[in-house]
C-alpha cells in the first residue's frame, strides 16, 4: 500500500483539478454558465440531461463556491469565472496543440519560452501548410506571397538564406515595405557582412533595423500587421523549410508579438 | 458552441489519477525507471508500475534503455494541464480575495495569465493594524520613481504622495474617476504640477464610468485591490508583490484599462 501520508498529499495536491476535469457534468455546467447566467430549464435543454442530474451538479459546484443561485438563475461566482476562464484556456491550448500536432511534434521547440508555449491557444485558428513531394517549395512560395503584401515586417531569422534575403531586398527597393526589423544571431550577421550586396542593401538600409542576439536561434518567426508565420528546425538540428504555420487573426499576431518582445530584450 | 469546447478524453485520462500526474511530473523533471520513481514518490511499486504501463499505452511516455521519458508532445500537453492546475491553486490560495468581489475590470488576458501572481502576497488588515493595507501600498508608492496607478476613490494622503514622488524626480501616470480628479490634483503645489505636466512626468486620465479596481505599478512592485460585489471597495485586502512576473502582469492590466479609457 502507498503510505497514507503520501496518498493524502497527492490527493490534496491534485484534488480540485481532478474534481473539475473528471466530471463531464461539472465541467459542462461551468462552461454553460460561462457567458451568461441560466435557469434550470435553459440548462436542461442545452445539456440534454434530466433535472436531477443537473441539479446535483449545480449543488456540487455551489458547495465549492464556483456557482451561486440568484433568483431562479444560476451564475458563476468570481472564483468560478476565473476558474472557467482558465479551463477554457486549457481546452483551447489542447485543441490548438492537437490540431497542428504533426507540426509541433516534428520540430525543436526549445527556443519557444515556456510562457509562450502555455499560451499556444492563441494559435487555435492558425493552420500549417505542408510542402508536397511534387512541389517542395509550397511553404516557401506561400511565405514570399505573404511578405509581399506587408508594409511592416518583424522577423526572427535563424538562417542565412540568400533566397529570403533577395526577396526582402526586392520588397525594400520597390517601396513595398516601410520597415523591416530583423532579429538575427551574431553568426548570421557576420555572414551577411561578408556579402557586399546584402551588406549594402540590408545592413546599410535605413528602413532596416537589426537586432543581434548572442545565442543561436532555432525559430523563424515573421510578423506583419496582417499575418504571422512560423517555421522551425527538426529535432536533429536541420532547418525545415517544408512546413509553415500561418495565422492571420488577432490572437495569432499577439502570440507572435509576445515572442518577438521576449527576443527583443534578450 | 464549438466542437472543441469540451474536456476531452485525454485530459480526463490524466486528471483521473493523481498518481499518473505525479509520475508525469517526476519524469518531466528527470527521466527515471520504476524503482527510481517508487523511491522518489513514495508510491507503491505496483501502483507505479501499473500507471507507468497505462501512460506508456497511451503514448504519454516511452521507454528508452530502462528509463522512461515523457514524449515531447505529451510534455507540452502536460505543461498546459499543470498551468491549469497552478491557476486553480492561485484562485484557491487567494480565495478570500476573489470571492464575492467584482472582477469584471480584469481583462480576460490577465485572468488567463493569473499564474503570474504565484509569488504575490495577500495582505489583510487585522484588528490590531487596520491600516495595514493602506500603509503597505503607501510605502510602495513613496519609494518609487515610476508610478502608474488606478485610484478608484480618494484617499486624503494621495495628493501629498503624488507630490513627494514628483519632488523626487519621479513620473506619475494616473487613471482616476472624473469625480475625484480635482480633489486629487488641486492640492499639489502649482509650480511642481505645471512643470511635471509639461515635462510629461504627470499624466492623468479621467473616467466617467465605473472604475472598480485599485492598481498600482511602481518600479518593480505592484498592488491590486478589488471592490466587493455590493459596490464598496474592500479596504481590508490587497494583493502585493515585488517579483517580475506579477509586475509584468500588473503593467499589462494597467495598459488594458488605459486603452479602454482612452479609446
Concatenated DSSP letters for A62-86? HHTTSEEEETTEEEE-HHHHHHHHH
- Residue B4 pLDDT: 56
- Helix segments in chain A, DSSP class H: 4-21, 24-32, 40-47, 51-63, 78-99, 101-106, 114-117, 138-148, 162-173, 186-194, 196-198, 250-264
Tell me if A232 sits within 8 A of A107, measured CB to CB.
yes
User: Are A82 and B22 an interchain contact pair (Cβ–Cβ within 8 Å)?
Assistant: no
- Helix segments in chain B, DSSP class H: 9-16, 18-29, 34-41, 45-57, 72-93, 95-98, 108-112, 132-142, 158-167, 178-185, 190-198, 244-262
- Residue B7 pLDDT: 83
* A93 at B interface, C-beta within 8 A: yes
Among A147-151, A236-240, B91-95, B208-212, the least confident range: B208-212
User: Are A17 and B114 an interchain contact pair (Cβ–Cβ within 8 Å)?
Assistant: no
For chains A and B, CB pairs below 8 A equal: 138
Give me the phi and psi of A210, to 5 degrees please: -110, 135
Q: Is residue A236 located within the same domain as residue A160?
A: yes
Q: In the structure, what pLDDT confidence band is assigned to residue B251 with cuts at 50, 70 and 90?
A: very high
Q: Is residue A127 located within the same domain as residue A256?
A: yes
**Beta-strand pair A179-185/A152-157:** parallel
More reliable by pLDDT, A13 or B256: B256
Domain boundary among A36, A66, A89: A89
Give a yes or no: residue A95 inside a domain: no
Domain boundary among A35, A58, A89: A89
Q: Which residue is closest to A100 within chain B, CA to CA?
A: B73
Q: Is residue A149 located within the same domain as residue A256?
A: yes
Helices B9-16, B18-29: axis angle to 10 degrees equals 90
User: Are B112 and A1 an interchain contact pair (Cβ–Cβ within 8 Å)?
Assistant: no
Cell for B164?
513627494
* A17 at B interface, C-beta within 8 A: yes
- Residue A264 pLDDT: 86
- Residue B81 pLDDT: 94
* B16 at A interface, C-beta within 8 A: yes
Give a yes or no: residue A94 inside a domain: no
The span from the CA of B212 to the CA of B205, in Å, is: 15
Q: Is residue A115 located within the same domain as residue A62?
A: no
The CATH number assigned to the domain holding A119 equals 3.30.870.10
Q: Is residue A141 located within the same domain as residue A219?
A: yes
Residues in chain A: 266
- Residue B2 pLDDT: 42
* B208 at A interface, C-beta within 8 A: no
- DSSP 8-state secondary structure symbol assigned to residue B2: -
Q: What is the least distance, in Å, from the CA of B98 to any CA of chain A?
A: 6
Mean pLDDT across chain B: 92
Q: Is residue A62 located within the same domain as residue A117?
A: no
Q: Which residue is closest to A109 within chain B, CA to CA?
A: B72
Is residue B222 pLDDT above 60, yes or no?
yes
- Residue B3 pLDDT: 45
DSSP bridge partners of A70 = A73
The span from the CA of B116 to the CA of A148, in Å, is: 38
- Residue B8 pLDDT: 84
User: Are B103 and A78 an interchain contact pair (Cβ–Cβ within 8 Å)?
Assistant: yes
Give a yes or no: residue A155 inside a domain: yes
Q: Which residue is closest to A124 within chain B, CA to CA?
A: B4
**Distances, alpha carbon A207 to alpha carbons A168, A180, A181, A188, A211, in Å:** 11, 6, 8, 19, 13
* A105 at B interface, C-beta within 8 A: yes
Q: Is residue A57 located within the same domain as residue A189?
A: no
Q: Is residue A157 located within the same domain as residue A256?
A: yes
Listed as own residue / partner, the contacts of B133-136 with beta carbons closer than 8 Å and 24 or more positions apart are B133/B225, B133/B235, B133/B236, B133/B237, B133/B238, B134/B235, B136/B223, B136/B238, B136/B240
- What is the tally of structural domains in chain A? 2
- Residue A214 pLDDT: 87
More reliable by pLDDT, A134 or B201: B201
Give a yes or no: residue A96 inside a domain: no
Q: Is residue A192 located within the same domain as residue A247?
A: yes
What lies within 8 Å, CB to CB, of A157 at 6+ separation is: A164, A182, A183, A184, A188, A217, A220
- Residue A2 pLDDT: 61
* B82 at A interface, C-beta within 8 A: no
Mutate to test the interface with A, among B84, B97, B230 (most CBs of A within 10 A): B84
**What CATH class does B9-83 carry?**
mainly alpha
Mutate to test the interface with B, among A4, A8, A14 (most CBs of B within 10 A): A14
Segments forming the whole domain that contains residue A191: 101-264
The CATH number assigned to the domain holding A23 equals 1.10.10.10
* A22 at B interface, C-beta within 8 A: yes
Please list every residue in chain A whose beta carbon sits closer than 8 Å to the beta carbon of residue B85: 14, 17
- Residue A266 pLDDT: 67
Longest dimension (CA), chain B: 77
Q: Is residue A117 located within the same domain as residue A249?
A: yes
* A27 at B interface, C-beta within 8 A: yes
Q: Is residue A244 located within the same domain as residue A120?
A: yes
Q: Is residue A46 located within the same domain as residue A138?
A: no
- Residue B223 pLDDT: 96
Give a yes or no: residue A63 inside a domain: yes
Each residue's pLDDT expressed in tens, for chain A with a length of 266 residues: 566 777 777 777 788 888 889 888 999 999 999 999 999 999 999 999 999 999 999 999 999 999 999 999 999 999 999 999 999 999 999 999 999 999 999 999 999 998 899 999 999 999 999 988 778 889 999 999 999 999 999 999 999 999 999 999 999 999 889 999 999 999 999 999 999 999 999 999 999 999 999 888 999 999 999 999 999 999 999 999 999 999 999 999 999 999 999 998 76
Domain assignments of chain B as residue spans, ordered by start = 9-83, 102-262
* B84 at A interface, C-beta within 8 A: yes
Domain B102-262, second-level architecture: 2-Layer Sandwich (3.30)
ipTM above 0.85, yes or no: yes
Amino acid at each position: 500500500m502507498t503510505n497514507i501520508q503520501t496518498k493524502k498529499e497527492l490527493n490534496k495536491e491534485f484534488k480540485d483539478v481532478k474534481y473539475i476535469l473528471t466530471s463531464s457534468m461539472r465541467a459542462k455546467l461551468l462552461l454553460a454558465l460561462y457567458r451568461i447566467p441560466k435557469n434550470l430549464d435553459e440548462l436542461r435543454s442545452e445539456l440534454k440531461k434530466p433535472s436531477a442530474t443537473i441539479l446535483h451538479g449545480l449543488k456540487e459546484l455551489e458547495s465549492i463556491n464556483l456557482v451561486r443561485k440568484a433568483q431562479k438563475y444560476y451564475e458563476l461566482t468570481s472564483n468560478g469565472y476565473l476558474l472557467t476562464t482558465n479551463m477554457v484556456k486549457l481546452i483551447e491550448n489542447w485543441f490548438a496543440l492537437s490540431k497542428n500536432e504533426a507540426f509541433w511534434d516534428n520540430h525543436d521547440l526549445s527556443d519557444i519560452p515556456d510562457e509562450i508555449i502555455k499560451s499556444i491557444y492563441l494559435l487555435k485558428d492558425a493552420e500549417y501548410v505542408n510542402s508536397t513531394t511534387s512541389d517542395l517549395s509550397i511553404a516557401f512560395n506561400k511565405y514570399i506571397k505573404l511578405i509581399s503584401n506587408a508594409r511592416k515586417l518583424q522577423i526572427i531569422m535563424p538562417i542565412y538564406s540568400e533566397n529570403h534575403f533577395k526577396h526582402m531586398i526586392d520588397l525594400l527597393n520597390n517601396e513595398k515595405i516601410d520597415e523591416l526589423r530583423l532579429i538575427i544571431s551574431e553568426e548570421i550577421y557576420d555572414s551577411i557582412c561578408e556579402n557586399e550586396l546584402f551588406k549594402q542593401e540590408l545592413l546599410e538600409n535605413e528602413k532596416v533595423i537589426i537586432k543581434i542576439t548572442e545565442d543561436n536561434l532555432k525559430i523563424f518567426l515573421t510578423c506583419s500587421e496582417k499575418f504571422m508565420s512560423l517555421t522551425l528546425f527538426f529535432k536533429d538540428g536541420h532547418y525545415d523549410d517544408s512546413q509553415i504555420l500561418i495565422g492571420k487573426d488577432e490572437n495569432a499576431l499577439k502570440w507572435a508579438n509576445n515572442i518577438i518582445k521576449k527576443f527583443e530584450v534578450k | 458552441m464549438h466542437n472543441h469546447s469540451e474536456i476531452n478524453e485525454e485530459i480526463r485520462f490524466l486528471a483521473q489519477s493523481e498518481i499518473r500526474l505525479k509520475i508525469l511530473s517526476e519524469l518531466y523533471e528527470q527521466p527515471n525507471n520504476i524503482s527510481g520513481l517508487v523511491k522518489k514518490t513514495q508510491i507503491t511499486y505496483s501502483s507505479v508500475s501499473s500507471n507507468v504501463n497505462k501512460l506508456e499505452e497511451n503514448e504519454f511516455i516511452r521507454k528508452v534503455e530502462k528509463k522512461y521519458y515523457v514524449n515531447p508532445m505529451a510534455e507540452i500537453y502536460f505543461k498546459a494541464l499543470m498551468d491549469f492546475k497552478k491557476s486553480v491553486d492561485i484562485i484557491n490560495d487567494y480565495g478570500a480575495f476573489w470571492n464575492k468581489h467584482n472582477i469584471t475590470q480584469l481583462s480576460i488576458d490577465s485572468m488567463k495569465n493569473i499564474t503570474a501572481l504565484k509569488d504575490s502576497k495577500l495582505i489583510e488588515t487585522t484588528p490590531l493594524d487596520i491600516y495595514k493595507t493602506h500603509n503597505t501600498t503607501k510605502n510602495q508608492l513613496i519609494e518609487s520613481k515610476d508610478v502608474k496607478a488606478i485610484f478608484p476613490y480618494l484617499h486624503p494622503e494621495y495628493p501629498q504622495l503624488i507630490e513627494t514622488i514628483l519632488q523626487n524626480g519621479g513620473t506619475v501616470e494616473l487613471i482616476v474617476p472624473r469625480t475625484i480628479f480635482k480633489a486629487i490634483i488641486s492640492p499639489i503645489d502649482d509650480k511642481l504640477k505645471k512643470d511635471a505636466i509639461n515635462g510629461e512626468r504627470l499624466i492623468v486620465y479621467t473616467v466617467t464610468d465605473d472604475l472598480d479596481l485599485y492598481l498600482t505599478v511602481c518600479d518593480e512592485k505592484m498592488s491590486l485591490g478589488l471592490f466587493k460585489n455590493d459596490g464598496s471597495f474592500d479596504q481590508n485586502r490587497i494583493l502585493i508583490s515585488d517579483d517580475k512576473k506579477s509586475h509584468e502582469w500588473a503593467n499589462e492590466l494597467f495598459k488594458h484599462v488605459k486603452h479602454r479609457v482612452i479609446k
